[in-house]
Amino acid sequence: MGLLLKNGRLLNLETGELEAREILIEGDHIAEIAELVEESGHEVHDLNGGVILPGYIDMHVHLRQPGFEAKETIETGTKAAARGGYTTVACMPNTRPVIDTPERIRYVYDVTEKEGSCTVLPYGAITVGELGEELTDIIALREAGAVGITDDGVGVQSSAMMRRAMEVAACQDIPVVIHSEDEDLAKDGCMNEGVVSKRLGLPGIPGLAESVMIARDIMLAEETGAHLHVCHISDAGSVELVRWAKQRGLKVTTEVTPHHLLLTESIIDETDGGDANMKVNPPLRTEADRQACLQGLLDGTIDMIATDHAPHTEEEKKRSFATAPFGFTGIEFAFPLLYTELVEKGTIGLAELVKKFATNPAQVFRLPGGKVEQGGIADLTVVDLETEQAIDPNAFFSKGKNTPFVGKRVKGWSTLTINRGRVTYKTE
């Protein structure tokens, strides 16, 4: 018996057209896509005219397990992901202990097998404990199934260490995923360095703290031949550097978060630095930086959207702006938010946005999915483009409620998500 999806409209990613199609799923694959599929014996789901999209792939989330289960677990984080339309997430290793051994990579796979609601691909750390002092066993991490190596949460400060990591990664054909942050420049900053930080008397993190590290790592990637993936790009100079690297033909890719596309430091100004739910790293920057990110997304410099879903407890986020931890949750509403803000307002087409959410991450990281096609993996989500609903932290499956988008009314919510042929989310 298969799963039969009826009364849906499949987005054609080439033409942008919505086409009436029925989809039959057998096991973990799409068995048939046709105008009409023989109904007998299948479990039928009526999609009520919903739009069928490939399941989204988020290459940057923090699931917090092991060690920070008060913030999130693999169970709650992946349930949130499924609600958000995601079928694959890649999780960051800044847990406690840090995911820096093959056993810990396997631990993530094992817990996901038992408790997960989507495919989870763990990253392994570049340095032991993310301390920047000793290289991990990158070969063993890759063999255990690490999707890439990264010290996300902190930047690798030593150029020699990064060079060695890239040399091994290039031989092993595993992406090096960088949290670009020069600690000397960032110091103890808690927001973007500029007029607003000066007015509020808060220590700032300059855009240069990001871009100088990207410049360094592009040069190292050119020398070593490693695939360099730049996390959460946020600064205009950084976008320019990645554009240059791509023009040079280097294997350099990047992602941007919904918040860096939509918000600036002015929201911190409006609340006089009184709300740490607006604190994130890299920080929200200027309008010029935001425009550069948007332009980079549109011209292909920026390959994909990643949420940097970073849940924290309410108690932690109630602390002062200077002392609260950095991070926003976002996986549960990223697509509706950008559909409403960018597609409905005419900045980007629906098919282009879907490529940034699914097709491109699959292509860049060579993963299954990213397309809805006969014979392909049955990873998909169905969205309702008409019904508007507020972003309501009380309704989140995620334990993290820390988002600056509370109360925003958006369209494009998922009504059904299927991961490898299994229904992982369905609205009532």
Residues annotated as catalytic (active site), given as ranges: 308
Is 216 annotated in some ligand binding site? no
- Closest to ligand DOR by CB, 243 vs 309, is 309
Is 321 annotated in some ligand binding site? no
Is 179 annotated in some ligand binding site? yes
Binding mask 230-249 for ligand DOR (x = CB under 6 A): --------------------
* Distances from the Cα of 75 to the Cα of 69, 119, 152, 240, 381, angstroms: 10, 12, 21, 38, 19
Cα–Cα distance, 29 to 8 (Å, whole number): 18
Is 309 annotated in some ligand binding site? no
- Closest to ligand DOR by CB, 94 vs 253, is 94
- Closest to ligand DOR by CB, 179 vs 290, is 179
What is the footprint of ligand DOR within residues 287-316 (CB under 6 A)?
Answer: 310
Helix (H) or strand (E) holding 209: helix 208-224
- Closest to ligand DOR by CB, 55 vs 327, is 327
Joined together, the tokens standing for residue 428 give 């009532």
- Closest to ligand DOR by CB, 125 vs 250, is 125
Q: Does 283 contact ligand DOR by CB under 6 A? A: no
Cα–Cα distance, 78 to 306 (Å, whole number): 15
- Closest to ligand DOR by CB, 24 vs 280, is 280
Among 87, 234, 281, 414, binds ligand DOR (CB under 6 A): 281
Judge residue 344's burial from the number of C-beta atoms within 10 Å of its C-beta, 0-12 exposed, 13-18 middle, 19 or more buried: middle
Cα–Cα distance, 48 to 201 (Å, whole number): 53
Spatial neighbors of 60 by CB under 8 A, at least 6 apart, are 90, 92, 152, 231, 232, 255, 257, 306, 307, 308, 309
Binding mask 120-159 for ligand DOR (x = CB under 6 A): --------------------------------xx------
Q: Identify which range of 82-90, 324-332, 348-356, 399-407 contacts ligand DOR by CB under 6 A.
A: 324-332
- In whole angstroms, how close is the CB of 325 to ligand DOR at the nearest point? 6
Burial track 237-259 (b if 16+ CB lie within 10 A, e otherwise) = ebbebbbebbeeebbbbbbbbbb
Q: Does 97 contact ligand DOR by CB under 6 A? A: no
- In whole angstroms, how close is the CB of 181 to ligand DOR at the nearest point? 8
- In whole angstroms, how close is the CB of 326 to ligand DOR at the nearest point? 3
Is 64 annotated in some ligand binding site? yes
- Closest to ligand DOR by CB, 71 vs 246, is 71
Long-range contacts of 181-185 (CB under 8 A, 24+ apart): 181/154, 181/155, 181/205, 181/209, 181/210, 181/213, 181/281, 181/282, 182/155, 182/157, 182/208, 182/209, 182/210, 182/212, 182/213, 183/154, 183/155, 183/157, 183/209, 185/209, 185/212
Radius of gyration of the chain (CA): 21
Q: Does 60 contact ligand DOR by CB under 6 A? A: no
- In whole angstroms, how close is the CB of 305 to ligand DOR at the nearest point? 16
Binding mask 325-364 for ligand DOR (x = CB under 6 A): xxx-------------------------------------
The count of chain residues that interact with ligand DOR, using the rule CB under 6 A, is 11
Cα–Cα distance, 401 to 27 (Å, whole number): 35
| Residue 83 near residue 397, CB atoms below 8 Å | yes
Give the angle 362-363-369 at the CA atoms, nearest 5°: 35
- In whole angstroms, how close is the CB of 145 to ligand DOR at the nearest point? 22
118 phi-psi bin (left φ>0, alpha ψ -120 to 50, beta other)? beta
Annotated binding-site residues for substrate read 62-64, 94, 281, 312, 326-327
Annotated binding-site residues for Zn(2+) read 60, 62, 152, 179, 232, 308
User: Which residues of this protein are in contact with ligand DOR, per CB under 6 A?
Assistant: 62, 94, 152-153, 179, 280-281, 310, 325-327
Annotated binding-site residues read 60, 62-64, 94, 152, 179, 232, 281, 308, 312, 326-327
